[in-house]
Structure 1
Amino acid sequence: MSGSNGSLSRAGLRGREGELEQLQTLTDSVARTGSGALALLQGEPGIGKTTLLTEAVSRARAAGFSVGLGKADELHHIVPLSSLAASVLHGDQPLLSGGAFADLARNQDQRIWLVERLAEAIEARADGAPVLIALDDVQWADPLSRFALKQLPARLRTSPVLWMLAGRPDPTGPSEEIVTAAAGTLPTVTVSLKPLSGAAIGQLADDTLGAAVDERVRDLLDGAGGNPFLAVEMLAGLGTAEASGDPLPSTVVVGVRGRLRSLQPSTLRFLQMGAVLGRRFGFHDAAALYGEPPATLIPALEEAIRAGLLDDDGDDLVFRHDLLRQAVYVDIPPSARKALHREAAGQLVSAGRRPIDAVPHILRGALPGDKECVALLRRAAEDVLPVTPGLAADLMTRALELAPSAGPLRFEAGEQAILVLTRAGRSREALSIGDRLLASRPPLEVFSRLQAALGGTLWNLDLAEELRRRTESALGIGGAAPEIAARLAALRALALSRGRDLVAAREAGETALRAATATGDREAHVLALSGLGEIAQNAGDNAVALERFAALSALDSAFLPEEIVAHLHVDDFASGERLLLQAADNTGSVRQAMMLWAQGQYDLGLGRLDDADADFATMERLEDDVQTPVQQVNGRVIRSRIALLRGDLEAAREHLLAARERLVVKPNPGNTAAVRFLEAVHAEADGDIGLAVDKIRQVQQEGSFMRWRLLRDWVDAAIRMALRGAEHELAEDLAAQAGALAARNPAVPTATGVAAHALGLVKNDLAMLEHSVELLRASPRRLVRAAACADLGQALLAAGRRPQAVAALAQAHGTFAESGAHAAAARLQRDMDGAGAGSRRAAATQRPVQGWGALTASEKKVARLIAEGHTNRSAADVLVVSPHTVNTHLTSVFRKLSVNSRVQLANLVMALPDN
């Protein structure tokens, strides 16, 4: 416990000198090194965590730390960001102002965006002084705070930010999740508080009662089991008992209850109302639950404070320890507790509180069939869905459980549950709920609504054929409202985009778009445009795909990444860059991970291999953070190819293995084809041409649309494998599909140039290869140009045209080297050496793995900017990349340079000879 005077404060620290020294050492380290750290204080209730945490925070404040100290609350453990808000908003100099924090909560609708903004605010504060953020009772942290606390320590590891968490031991609880996420990226210390020794308990008794403590009191204290809070409560109970002439209490429960029995009945009843509301509660709320005007309960409040049971912080009343609250709470009969929680929920809502504030009471007090509670849960789920979809899903499943077994409310709650569960990534659960509701034979209109709600679920599960079957069945049965029929038609077109008849799919999409426009239903409009964009992209109609995705992102900015990639497919990198810049300032609903996918495609297209690799690595991390693995297979496939181009065979194999593992999770045709192609590339690198050709055949069999999506820019590699394997017919088929893509996109230099390149390879036509190089001069894709130049150089050598061959090879070599494709450049260097032109280019040198020379060009830029005092955000603005990508680069910089803080990095950079 923490007392109100110096004696009790010292008493609470008896026997904790060693633990306090551990925390002091960590605090000194953060201040000295300028790098982050995390400490976890663990122990049973009453063991002294709060007292130790409070003392450590006090010492840090005295040492110049900017401090935020908060406490999570059991009955607010689902209110988004409530726990972390307690840590960053409290104190003499809050880490964030209430207004700034409210802006974050109000303007954001994505967890990743929110965490990054919090990180920027804390990073800015840490620039002036080290920061300590402490959270007590972390076992009750709300889901969004838990998410943030799993990201922030690692994100801020390069700044002097110390995190101190205190909580109860739980191997699967929030504290262990947070420590596990931080492990390996910054120093972490777990301080486990054990029961105090008998000597320490004796010192505590001496501190509290004076030196003359008789043996019978010491015997009594043995019942505390080394728990300092229980010991002090027993001593307080002893004082109460002696003053009243009662027998000496033999246990802490008797001691606490003895103190409670000494209170006036009205005071005890008031405390019980407070205990129902939580450890921290409002005076007016407790009075309302009591059923008395606040003024009449002031004497009860005063007595509770005098008895040391409550503290008044000026805004709320707080039980001095949660064990005190529990002692009051358990004496309320269970049936009365349930009724009081239900009443508390209604009163909080009536008082204008958010639905989520009433939810903890609903979960404890609602009975099946309570329509008002179902309505509150539905509203709360809708409110928290953007930031904590998992919590929203839990609330909706509970709402469905409470909904009446018959009637429209059950179907309405079920439809919402399907949508929310799908958004939370729990698609299997959503499908199960939907099928159970459909099996109950709902009215036709409800049947259609449920099938429409399940559309996104089936799409996320890659069940395109099942989606087609269900939508056609629902449309055939009829009875749907016009807007629902429009959604079903759009979902059917989306499903058909994965089929072989893309002409029929396009007709279905156009019909669905007309229906969506006629009904004015926004969701149907989004679905129809999305389907038409997918269909056009799968058919290789890049200009049409761009038109559809541009209209889609204008309707919903979340689809801006699709528009950016569509611009890249028509070689319009300038518009892609403009939209990427626009997205960097967007605080709306743009999907952060998908924006990084678009950024990666942009950097890859321009031959920025280091940047592209960092983009895709960051994308995967963000997808892992929010547990939505959308592009992880394709990201790993591209990173493996990048590693092969660089000559990093170990990394290339690691990425291949990771791609295979992720394919098991999402084994759709696109992912399968991508992994098969990568396996072909690796087989060729290993000298197994037969296996490589077999894998390319598998890619071709995945479906015609995959030819446009996967081999758009990589068809030359597939053709070379086929030719090396003497599979000329396969090579001709690949060249023909490149030609068909060019015919669909005559204004796209990359498409026409790749087609000419493919034909030149298949026919061994030198003139056609020369033509391909000429066409590709207008293409912004540097690696595509370099590959064509390299093949032209080889053909010119074979034709005996050595000077022209060397020029073409040198041009390709330069592009590969500048892009970071060192292995590809080295192969060309060998060809040039064989042609007697080795002196024209120096051989590519292998990049070291440690030290300044190990850094990529982008990492060096980031290192210099951070050394100059830039934050991640300002560095990102200078480099025109995402702050998340800067963080990825910075992680690599610290690893390669073996530094742990921005201060150490700045010292190293300043010491460089060329600085």
Structure 2
Amino acid sequence: MAEGPGSRETSWPGWRGRSREWALVADLLRAARVGRGGVLLVEGRPGVGKSRMLDVAAATATRWGYRVVRGVADELTQLMPLAPLVSALGEPGCTLRTGDSDGVPGPADQRLQLLDQLQGPLETLVAHGPALLTLDDLQWTDHMTLLALRSLTVDFASSPLIWMLARTTGGGHTPCLDRVFTTLEREGATRIRLEALDDAAVTEVVADVLGAAPEPDVLALAGIADANPFLLVHLIEKLKREGGFRIADGRATLVSAQLPSARAVTRERLEELSGPTRHLLQVAGVLGRSFPVKDLAEMLGESTGDLLPMLEEAMSAGIVVSAGHELAFRHDLLWEAVTESLSSAVRRALHREAGEMLLKRGGSAVPAAAHLIHSAGHGDVCALRALDLAAREVLRSSPQTAADLATRALELTDATDPDWVGRAAIAVDALTAVGRLCEAADLARPALSRAPSALAHRLRCALAYILLLSGRPADAVSQADSLLGREDISRDLRGVAQWTVFWGLISLNDLGEGQRRAEAVLADRDRHSDAAVVGALLMRSRCAMTDGRVDESFTHLDEALQIGNSGAVEAVQRPYARLLLGHLHRCLCQFDAADLAIRSAEEEIEALGVTVLAAQPALFRARVKLAAARLDDAAAEAEAGMTIADDMGTHGFIRVGLSILAYIAVRRGDMDGAARNMKRYSCEPGAPGMLFGSAWERWVEAVVAEAQGDRERAMDILRPTYTDVDRQRRTLITAPLAAAFMTRLALASGNRAYAQTIVDTADQLARRNPGYPIFAAAAAHARGLLHADPADLAFAAANHPQLWERASAAEDLGVLLTMSGASADRERAIGSLDQAHDGYQQIGALRDAARARARLRALGVRRRHWARSHQREFGWDSLTDTERAVAKLIAQGLTNRQAAARMFLSPHTVSAHLRRIFTKLDIASRAELARIFAEERPDREA
């Protein structure tokens, strides 16, 4: 039997009736002894034993010498739930609430940089050996914290850290909580659903408490308690004290058939307390599951010393226990019993008093709002204004909390109340920030029709931005233009509207109109705000890029970034310029610069709380890794971006990730995978706010169609590009590989005129940008295909900055030389096809390598098939180059984040590589990886 709690505890859940579940816990704890980590999800109804299981796990881990940190969320202090872990993680065996003592969230950077704040303490924790971190009552936790937890469990998956995350079911937990638990389980977490005790466990529990074997009438008590462990033990102990059992010859029977309900027994237990103590507990219950003694004393109008007798009585009765700097109810059911003993009117009144007490202290309105949200009624001006203040206060630091507060305030506001519009405006901003765009738009429209002019202008500007993010740029431009036609809008608001117009026109590729407007703004900068000027510069940059004037594009973009860094530009607008910079560097194959720009945008998105854009950095990074021929990294980043989009509810971004995965599948020869991804891609909505995806995605659709043998469909997809020079430039810049692909496709379809237009455009880009070698190489490849010129193809094969394109040009050269029939050309053809084959193999483009190998066979040359699908699936030799690089850094003691920074990856991607490394090496810890690396390294270096 698995090691478990001591015999004195065996009647408690976590042991009796829980041996199977406890075995799962014990297995994870034992795994940490050898350096393995893991996640355990515990869920069930109140009283079923979740907290007790965490207690037993913590006690066991402590006995085994583990470092243990414990946390519990609280309904009334959920707004800043992880911050105390930063300090508490340094203290082994500590217990904390996942809400600070005042329930006050810190500034935006503190709230949104929890991952960075917690990374160091957690790394220190696991550096000393195995550790257990338990977090209870996650149903009270906000969704940003849940996402932070999910990221941390991934980052520390290869460390000897066991996470135990518990939640109570049967209540109204958030969809985000469901998604996070489901995702963690899908990624390998162990999920335990604690149910009511079975008959055998009930018999054991009753026998433990009574010291005698129960007769059937005693066992019937389980039905009264719904086989709920806490209620069952509570009921039996109550009846035992009152002489409700007859025990003879080692058997226990009931004295009376008149039995109270289990909840009635709980209430009776409270009624046994003195009147003052019951009243004290009722007030304490309103303050929360855990509560500061100073708040309780102030609510009761007593000194702490005056409360001591009552507090001691409550603690002696086992109703409340010490919880660090506060007191807490011993169990949720006891807390519920206390609060349920109050009428709803009294409970609301006490919440109101608590809220007013906290408001009088000054400072943050958030702690008061946590009470007022329970007590405010329709038309309660004071409470509603406090909710307004709290919503504004946390709008940037915790937009989800702001949305909850603002929407609750709206529910309590009469439709005719003049304050309704202002509250709607706050809710619109918060809902937009967290990506609930449909709700935000549905609220903004009716608010617009009722708002006074100044507020109406602000709402219209917000609606324009919502439409932009929703993938409706034409509607966004229309809304913003209607606002710009007014004379009574402020300079700053006009600037935001102009920025929205510029970005909408960029999304629409209406660059002619955009250029005209940009010139008008930049010709008279003093009359326009910084936001308008930045929008105009971004438009100029985009126009210059599309026109093939790269240096000019950089000049405008650099100026926009300098203005944006001044802080005068709206928060939601700042990441766009950095993402555009990353996009531009990626198009030019300047991969390190692209990574740095994307990382800066990612940090800005986190710091500013613009969670609606949270998935974009990973998706931009995926495109960079793909261009750099790092297919594993590109796939991992695409999957990370899609997961974030799913977690955040911004599902439009999933389409971008699917197109990336489909392209990777084609390169790897996984045509079934490509078809699956494209089928799902076609069912997903467009990507709202994803920058410059359309041209690239259209090209990917054509690549997949051609790979599936449907050349005609590929031509149909790209026909608008063949016939429009502006589209051609955008496509050839956004997808540098497209020049050769589109030339080859047109020639294979018998349309030489189309091929000629692509070559002409590629040549034009090369002439305009002599300082960027990618354009010369891409033009040479396309020109070599059109004119069957081996010199051009050889130039591309030697000079293109993308590895796949070099291999592709070498293959085309080999094919061309093969057709000449000359013996000298045959040898050159073999050399070129060898170069192509090895290049494809190096980057994992298995489909292309197989094609090159077939061409070599046709020339009588056989090459060993060392494709990964036929390589060893396990062991050191099965690792890819990227996986070996990750293994080296981790074996040297770097954390996931440190390794990610070295390799220009995200921590999610490093974690994904580590999981694959562990699987291939059949290990489960960093220590084992370090040992294997030390053994393999001499051979590798030799």
Structure 1 length normalisation: TM-score? 0.85
Q: Which residue of 2 aligns with 1:199?
A: 203
1:726 and 2:750 are equivalent in the alignment: yes
Count of aligned pairs: 895
2: CA distance, partners of 1:807 / 1:119: 50
Q: Which residue of 2 aligns with 1:310?
A: 320
Partner of 1:183, secondary structure, is: helix
Q: Which residue of 1 aligns with 2:351?
A: 341
1: CA distance, partners of 2:443 / 2:50: 43
Contact 1:646-1:821 within 8 A present in 2 as well: yes
Q: Which residue of 2 aligns with 1:545?
A: 553
Q: How does 1:376-395 map to 2 (within 5 A)?
A: 376-385=386-395, 388-395=398-405
Contact 1:606-1:782 within 8 A present in 2 as well: yes
2: CA distance, partners of 1:493 / 1:166: 47
Q: Which residue of 1 aligns with 2:568?
A: none
2: CA distance, partners of 1:431 / 1:785: 48
The one-letter amino acid of 1:784's match is E
Partner of 1:81, secondary structure, is: coil
1:561-592 deviation line (CA, Å, top 9, x unaligned): 33233234345556446657878999856977
Offset of residue 381 of structure 1: 3.7
Q: Which residue of 1 aligns with 2:641?
A: 619
Q: Which residue of 1 aligns with 2:881?
A: 857
Instruction: Decide whether aligned partners of structure 1 residues 536 and 462 sit closer, same or farther in structure 2, where only a CA change above 3 A counts.
Output: farther
Offset of residue 6 of structure 1: 9.5
2: CA distance, partners of 1:524 / 1:629: 30
Q: Which residue of 1 aligns with 2:253?
A: none
Offset of residue 380 of structure 1: 3.6
Range 804-813 or range 127-136, more displaced: 804-813
Partner of 2:939, secondary structure, is: coil
Q: Which residue of 2 aligns with 1:50?
A: 51
Partner of 1:497, secondary structure, is: helix
Q: Which residue of 2 aligns with 1:137?
A: 137
RMSD of Structure 2 on Structure 1 (CA): 4.4
Offset of residue 724 of structure 1: 0.5
Q: Which residue of 1 aligns with 2:122?
A: 122
Instruction: Decide whether aligned partners of structure 1 residues 292 and 726 sit closer, same or farther in structure 2, where only a CA change above 3 A counts.
Output: same
Q: How does 1:743-782 map to 2 (within 5 A)?
A: 744-762=768-786, 764=787, 766=789, 770-771=791-792, 774=795, 780-782=801-803
Contact 2:652-2:685 within 8 A present in 1 as well: no
Q: Which residue of 2 aligns with 1:641?
A: 663
- For residue 583 of structure 2, the aligned residue among 565, 581, 594 is 565
Partner of 1:368, secondary structure, is: coil
Range 788-797 or range 580-589, more displaced: 580-589
1:472 and 2:496 are equivalent in the alignment: no
1:886 and 2:910 are equivalent in the alignment: yes
2: CA distance, partners of 1:584 / 1:78: 23
Range 814-823 or range 576-585, more displaced: 576-585
Offset of residue 817 of structure 1: 4.0
Q: How does 1:43-192 map to 2 (within 5 A)?
A: 43-81=44-82, 92=93, 108=109, 114-115=114-115, 118=118, 121-170=121-170, 173=173, 177-186=179-188, 188-190=190-192, 192=194
1: CA distance, partners of 2:104 / 2:771: 46
- For residue 439 of structure 1, the aligned residue among 439, 442, 449 is 449
Partner of 2:192, secondary structure, is: strand
Contact 1:104-1:114 within 8 A present in 2 as well: no
The one-letter amino acid of 2:23's match is Q
Offset of residue 630 of structure 1: 6.3
Q: Which residue of 1 aligns with 2:939?
A: 914
Q: Which residue of 2 aligns with 1:738?
A: 762
- For residue 791 of structure 1, the aligned residue among 812, 820, 826 is 812
Q: Which residue of 2 aligns with 1:504?
A: 513
1: CA distance, partners of 2:40 / 2:216: 39
Q: Which residue of 2 aligns with 1:271?
A: 281
Contact 2:599-2:617 within 8 A present in 1 as well: no
The one-letter amino acid of 1:546's match is F
- For residue 683 of structure 1, the aligned residue among 705, 711, 723 is 705
2: CA distance, partners of 1:181 / 1:237: 42
- For residue 325 of structure 1, the aligned residue among 331, 335, 343 is 335
Offset of residue 27 of structure 1: 4.2
Range 71-80 or range 721-730, more displaced: 71-80
Instruction: Decide whether aligned partners of structure 1 residues 515 and 488 sit closer, same or farther in structure 2, where only a CA change above 3 A counts.
Output: farther
The one-letter amino acid of 2:136's match is D
Instruction: Decide whether aligned partners of structure 1 residues 90 and 234 sit closer, same or farther in structure 2, where only a CA change above 3 A counts.
Output: farther
Instruction: Decide whether aligned partners of structure 1 residues 58 and 722 sit closer, same or farther in structure 2, where only a CA change above 3 A counts.
Output: same
2: CA distance, partners of 1:757 / 1:568: 20
The one-letter amino acid of 1:64's match is G
1:245-294 deviation line (CA, Å, top 9, x unaligned): xx998344444444444444433322221111112111221222234444
1: CA distance, partners of 2:125 / 2:691: 48
Instruction: Decide whether aligned partners of structure 1 residues 540 and 383 sit closer, same or farther in structure 2, where only a CA change above 3 A counts.
Output: farther
Offset of residue 473 of structure 1: 1.9
Offset of residue 386 of structure 1: 5.2
Contact 2:424-2:443 within 8 A present in 1 as well: yes
Long gaps (5+) in structure 2: 245-255, 566-573
Instruction: Decide whether aligned partners of structure 1 residues 664 and 471 sit closer, same or farther in structure 2, where only a CA change above 3 A counts.
Output: closer
Range 395-404 or range 775-784, more displaced: 775-784
- For residue 821 of structure 1, the aligned residue among 819, 831, 845 is 845
Offset of residue 888 of structure 1: 2.0
Q: Which residue of 2 aligns with 1:715?
A: 739
Q: How does 1:356-395 map to 2 (within 5 A)?
A: 356-385=366-395, 388-395=398-405
Offset of residue 365 of structure 1: 0.8
1: CA distance, partners of 2:285 / 2:536: 53
2: CA distance, partners of 1:220 / 1:573: 69
Partner of 2:684, secondary structure, is: helix
Range 881-890 or range 555-564, more displaced: 555-564
The one-letter amino acid of 1:662's match is E
Offset of residue 660 of structure 1: 2.8
1:527-585 deviation line (CA, Å, top 9, x unaligned): 44444444444444433332343344442563433323323434555644665787899
Instruction: Decide whether aligned partners of structure 1 residues 784 and 553 sit closer, same or farther in structure 2, where only a CA change above 3 A counts.
Output: farther
1: CA distance, partners of 2:693 / 2:594: 25
Q: How does 1:569-718 map to 2 (within 5 A)?
A: 569-570=587-588, 572-573=590-591, 575-576=593-594, 588=607, 593-629=615-651, 632-663=654-685, 673-697=695-719, 704-705=726-727, 707-709=729-731, 710-718=734-742
The one-letter amino acid of 1:58's match is A
Contact 1:712-1:738 within 8 A present in 2 as well: no
2: CA distance, partners of 1:335 / 1:421: 31
Range 646-655 or range 687-696, more displaced: 646-655
The one-letter amino acid of 1:727's match is N
Structure 2 length normalisation: TM-score? 0.83
Partner of 1:69, secondary structure, is: strand
Range 367-376 or range 685-694, more displaced: 367-376
Offset of residue 200 of structure 1: 3.3
Range 322-331 or range 157-166, more displaced: 157-166
2: CA distance, partners of 1:597 / 1:806: 38
